[in-house]
Structure 1
């Protein structure tokens, strides 16, 4: 196999090197089930051969847990002899990195079998496959992910807890919820300027920055993409940008779903619409308030499949700490209009921009798997004409139904393992890999004795 199955071309690498003569090295990045970038740093002279021949990588790289340890139950380790497959660069993802010295670039890659077939445990392929199914139906999903995150100090407070980062501009501390404070944003302006500069280099349209609903919490919105695969790429790259630039400014970018117990967690809301081949928004109603059958069935599919999909949206032990009443994180499978207390929100605004805001996923989720699962849920609703039930108005946290989704991580793992829908949405190999990794991580957490055990029991039982 010498023809790239990803569609990448040697000409792209040659043109990039000619336009960037100072680039010395390139990060080649493959994203695993947890969304962690795995790969290598190659030298400048290795880039063209990588585009020409791909790069052999061990199959086990896609069977690692959050700590980078092998999960044998994935079937990707010794069952396969830990053999090599071949990773290929993804077209149009070769970008220069901002602020590196010496100058460096990065490129995303996907894993393929040695004869050029998509490797089933690569999460990007799961999204690409669901996108292809929708497009075969004449539907073209468009969308964007929102990025919420914390900026934390590198050191802990006196009690050992994380604390908000001081302003990088002048070192000013803040422990208040400075929600929507513009003046508060100014203290982080040097860092934000570098984030925007890095996004520009990467071809990402990063837009509005907001001071969010917790000390040290921010939100950065992304421009809507007509291709949700590109939207997921944007989110993956932007997380890396924020983490890298924060580190350069002496603070820590945190993408845990719930890093601070008394404040709101961080979501990764996914805005999605469906377009016709001509670019018309198919979710748009003929008159305000008269919802199209398409948007109602899409909502119905997402509601009907939400319970068995929650492991994708909340994949870690910490993810489940985010779900609490009055927390801006949904606790039941509900839908509503201009209502942030529901799981599926139809935002207010021009009907020509009609879309669904999918709110369950935390920022710690893998956007490729979230996108794949959401598209599959929408397709399920359209195929079976699922009724979403009545709209939720007012306080969605008062609506009974929290028992309709898993109560905790363990229950979510069991629901995902037994889900025929999720196996179809992710593909059999990705489903097996993802569930095995989550089960192994659950076992790791369950056998670890947390500090709270000593606080509660050391001197009392």
Structure 2
């Protein structure tokens, strides 16, 4: 048996198999730079051996673009001879999948070199690195992600556009913005019941569901975690749950940032706070106090670094269509209190729960990388006592932008490549891998002749 570098214990596998004799197979899932689950489905008899010895996987699995094609510029393909590394189970992540027949389970994996060193183009290691850096200073981040998404009809309309899914309860159709409509949610109740059951089986505390600000758009919130790695795991797993259960009910779950040009896009807001060694929230002010310097400096760091990190928050061509005024997506690195028109919001609520709601990331972003970059921005703000500048009140879309952010995807890629902050936040390997993948994807999109080209130019030039 090879010693696991992350504490994976074969006893966990044995106990799970004993408790779930009906399980026949297990999805082993490694998350790549785009947040896509890559891996295998193994049979029941292989599980304990996986915990004892890990599983060889090609290094190239972490150097793939959104289509699953090799990106040679990552240095993870032929530069390495596409050799195998060893993936290990993430302790505590072996969970039963709901609604599968025959029964299956799911297990998160993380990549290591053959000598046991962390393979630092694995996004989980980027977040773990920032968590360790804060822990060395006696600080422990807590947080939760919000999940916004669309439920769509699998078939497009006669006009070629995506359509909101019909209610799975009775087939009723609505193309209205049913924001906060409880009756509208009732039509999707069988699907959401299965989502909640699947989340419970995974140990995920999925909470409130609402009908969001576009036809067919919904939001699920997640319980606040004292461990931000677990918060990111929750988000990754909940996306897979929603996609799987939606498919079983005959609808398509869409996690594009902006699937409809006429309506709001989908965000992945990250709520984050910081606790000290005895569990006190260092962002929470005392009775009669104004905001704590730690909170303000954290906001200052996030504001100052946001432009360099926008590629992480908006990683795809479609991501950039989400940013528009009056859209509930931020267009400037501003901050405010109880204000949804800003990028960094201090929510109303109990002082003990004081936190920052980081709003730039789309639902298409990788939560491990978002978490790593947000924590690095907070750490920089705390270390350098960065002034956040004046709070924005009223309409944040009308406030002047005093700090630059890239205007488009190509600019964000160039900014990210040149950013020393982002290189340090992600680690040199993850930074190289991520920016190389994004550059390759940009080239793919740029050379594609789209229907828009024909519509604009076919009979005009």
TM-score range, shorter chain: over 0.9
Identify the residue that residue 303 of structure 2 maps to in structure 1: 303
1:246-265 mapped onto 2 (5 Å cutoff): 246-265=246-265
Give the conservation status (yes or no) of the 8 Å contact 2:144–2:222: yes
Shift in Å, 1:400: 1.3
> Any conservation in 2 of the 1:169–1:189 contact (CA below 8 Å)?
yes
Q: CA deviation at 1:403?
A: 7.0
SS at match of 1:65: coil
* Aligned counterpart, 2:401: 401
* Residue 31 (str. 1) matches residue 64 (str. 2): no
Secondary structure at the residue paired with 2:107? strand
CA displacement at 1:278 relative to structure 2? 1.3
2:319 corresponding residue in structure 1: 319
User: TM-score, normalised to structure 1's length?
Assistant: 0.99
- Find the aligned partners of 1:276 and 1:383 in 2 and give their Cα distance: 15
Q: 1:234 to 1:440 in 2, by over 3 A?
A: same
**Pairwise CA distance, 1:3:** 1.0
Q: Secondary structure at the match of 2:150?
A: strand
Q: Equivalent residue of 1:119, what SS? A: coil
Give the structure 1 partner of residue 293 of structure 2.
293
SS of corresponding position for 1:111: strand
- Identify the residue that residue 137 of structure 2 maps to in structure 1: 137
From the superposition, tell whether residues 402 and 154 of structure 1 become closer, same or farther in structure 2 (CA, over 3 Å).
farther
Cα pair 1:331 1:402 within 8 Å, conserved = no
* Map 1:136-285 → 2, pairs under 5 A: 136-285=136-285
Specify the alignment match of 1:40 in structure 2.
40
Query: Using the alignment, how far apart are the partners of 1:431 and 1:117 within structure 2?
Result: 18
Query: Following TM superposition, by how much is the alpha carbon of 1:287 offset from its aligned partner in structure 2, in angstroms?
Result: 3.5
Does the aligned pair in 1 maintain the 2:333–2:403 contact within 8 Å?
Answer: no
| Residue correspondences, number | 461
Instruction: Determine whether 1:99 maps to 2:99.
Output: yes
1:402 is displaced (CA, Å) by 7.8
Give a deviation string over 1:21-50, Cα, whole Å, max 9, x none: 010000000000000000000000000000
Gaps of 5+ in 2: none
- 2:344 aligns with 344
How do 1:113-128 residues align onto structure 2 when only pairs under 5 Å count? 113-128=113-128
1:289–1:210 distance in 2 versus 1, CA, 3 Å: farther
Tell me how far 1:276 sits from its aligned partner.
1.2
Deviations 1:305-347 (A, max 9, x none): 0000000000000000000000000000000000000000000
Deviation at 1:288, TM superposition (A): 5.7
Kept in 2: contact 1:288–1:351 (CA 8 A): no
Partner of 1:410: 410
1:316-395 mapped onto 2 (5 Å cutoff): 316-395=316-395
SS in 2 for 1:404: coil
